[in-house]
Amino acid sequence: MSASQTPLVVVGDALLDHDLCGRAERLAPDAPVPVVHGARRSSRPGGAALAACLAAADGRPVTLVTALGRDAASDTLRELLTDRVGLIEVPLEGALSSKTRVLAGDRPLLRLDDGEGRAREATAQAVCAIAAAAGVLVADYGHGTADVLRDALSHTAAPVVWDPHVRGRPPVPGVRLATPSAQEARAFARRLDGGDSGDTPGLRTAARDARALVGAWQARAVAVTLGERGALLSDGETPLLVPTPATATGDPCGAGDRFAAAAAGLLADGALTEAAVQGAVHAATRFVAEGGARAVAVPDDPETVAEPSTDGDTTADAVRTAARVRAAGGTVVAAGGCFDLLHAGHVALLQAARRAGDCLVVCVNSDDSVRRRKGDGRPLVPAVDRVRVLRALECVDAVAVFDEDTPERILGELRPHIWAKGGDYARTRLPEQPLVESWGGQVLLLPYLDGRSTTGLARRAASAPAPAPGRTR
């Protein structure tokens, strides 16, 4: 997207989100709960702050109007927002709300919530920013920012997209588009009819709820988001179903923010509502396919990945590199193998893979993984040295070591757009191919130099004649 796009003002409740992501392969012996190990902690903007960062990633100038305080969580969020968005603060009473999710891969196991701070009052600077806005997104998470600025939001001439939360109040009258999820639309509609109809979210229920909310909120349109089914757009008459372009698997956290941010930006640029909703559905689908909210996360211990560890584990560095390139709109390429005795065939493959995208992450079998695949005599070079050699290549941006026989787990963390393999796999369906295609990625075969192999090099080296007496190699 062009950097000359219309500026956007995002108004709402910022949160601080933490993810503890690891692997769960067994249950605890003392309770039927998963044991998560190898967890890595990262922090990211949440709530309105996430929506603002996602809008900024589209290439447009973004100003975030939100409530922050003097607590540690507020300070951390300020640091995370530096150089991403402009920031206008209103005073916060109490501590900033933060969430900590514990995940096994993409599956959330537990969430811990802290902080119940609320916006205390509006400021003149915040009111002026809304009045001068060319486009406004309200991300109301029920912590009062939209409440204290409600009068300014009611009188702005800019198109307003309102992303409501069941803990917040309804949108101000006249918004261009409201974007509740199906569950949120159902909850708001129940408040209107004074009870619980017993209906479960579905297309018919979503259409009825959207029509009711258009009238009750005096909104120009309501788009009910339906997850992997897309969104249902209603202006009070016959609804329009906007389906997703593809099925995206992955962590859906933040998909609603991605949808609302894309819709608000497109409306600010002058798009029709139908086109804005279609673009928002496509943006949300890509967002989930490419790793979700964790693409904007920052590891809490970046100093630990500056150099390869003794076992060659640089996975955190590789995941962060892929997330950074993906968030900037670039193409992530991954390639894998043992890379024992790096030779010209390897180098040619890696150079070609790097030219296919904007960064190359090399996935390397650990020593145990190589031994299981190749036999007790391998690897000839330990992982820590193989990693060091690969990182020294100009075409390699990061290296990740995996201990399994196949790289599905590490690919699930990296979510590359392209998985590059040598042309010698042309007649083989790779076991990781369905996984890569599940998030919209593709397997790409690249030419392989004939006659180059680690096994052949090792065999020739072992059969080489011994040096003559008195001579050294």
Query: Mind telling me the catalytic residues?
Result: 257
Q: Give CA–CA dist 379/394, Å, rounded.
A: 24
Phi-psi region of 106 (alpha: psi -120 to 50; beta: other; left: phi over 0): alpha
Give CA angle at 257 (253, 260), nearest 5°.
145
Phi, psi (degrees; rounded to nearest 5) at 224: -90, 120
Question: Which of 241, 447, 215 minimizes the C-alpha distance to 350?
Answer: 447
Residue-by-residue DSSP string for 161-198: EEE--TTSPPPPTT-SEE--BHHHHHHHHHHHHTS---
DSSP at 385 = H
Q: Give CA–CA dist 196/82, Å, rounded.
A: 44
Question: Which of 363, 335, 359, 360 minimizes the C-alpha distance to 443?
Answer: 335
Q: Give CA–CA dist 367/402, Å, rounded.
A: 9
Q: How long a stretch of residues is the chain?
A: 473
Phi, psi (degrees; rounded to nearest 5) at 235: -110, 20
With tokens 């603002």, the residue in question is: 52
**Could you give the strand order of the β-sheet that contains 62-68, starting from the edge strand earlier in sequence?**
118-119, 86-93, 62-68, 8-12, 136-139, 160-163, 177-178, 222-225, 231-234, 240-242
Question: Which of 171, 119, 136 minimizes the C-alpha distance to 55?
Answer: 136
**Could you give the strand order of the β-sheet that contains 34-47, starting from the edge strand earlier in sequence?**
107-114, 98-104, 14-27, 34-47, 298-299
Question: Which of 451, 447, 471 minimizes the C-alpha distance to 459?
Answer: 451
Is the distance from CB of 33 to CB of 75 less than 8 angstroms? Answer: no
- Cβ neighbours for 11, distance < 8 A, ≥ 6 positions apart: 48, 65, 66, 126, 130, 136, 137, 138, 139, 145, 146, 149, 153
